[in-house]
Amino acid sequence: MNKETKNTYQKFKSLIEFAEDQFHVRAELIAAIILVESAGNPDAQAKTTSARGLMQITRAAAEDIGTPYELLFYPEENILTGTEYLARLIAQNDGNERRGVMAYYAGHGTINDGKETQLDRDAETYADKVYQQL
């Protein structure tokens, strides 16, 4: 983990470790996504989408997990929801963590059709940013 990711990890350590235990996603990956998505700001709100909170969870992802959208500014709800969603995406990509991270960026089911699109390239760039934080 780089220094910024370690700082993010330390700030939310108990929540990240709980999410890691619950959903079997590496703690350092959770911290890296938090850093890339919101720079560790629990009040982060996307300008062009419904994404909010530490892991920038969209309304659709929250509904998929069963978390009320209005709770996403709470770090515990956001980290647990985001990690569960990421774990599902990793599983849907045959356990391929990187493809799960790409799907986290692109949205459920959007990178699995075999056709390369701009969204696929953007998802690759996003995954690169996340993995650079490890």
Residues 6+ apart with CB under 8 A from 87: 23, 24, 25, 100
How many whole angstroms separate alpha carbon 44 and alpha carbon 40?
Answer: 8
Catalytic one among 28, 37, 77, 84? 37
What are the tens digits of pLDDT across the range 12-25?
999 999 999 999 99
What pLDDT band is residue 109 in, cutting at 50, 70 and 90? low
How many whole angstroms separate alpha carbon 61 and alpha carbon 81?
Answer: 8
- As a CATH number, domain 3-132 is 1.10.530.10
Query: Does residue 124 carry a catalytic annotation?
Result: no
Q: Where are the domains of the chain?
A: 3-132
- pTM for the structure as a whole: 0.93
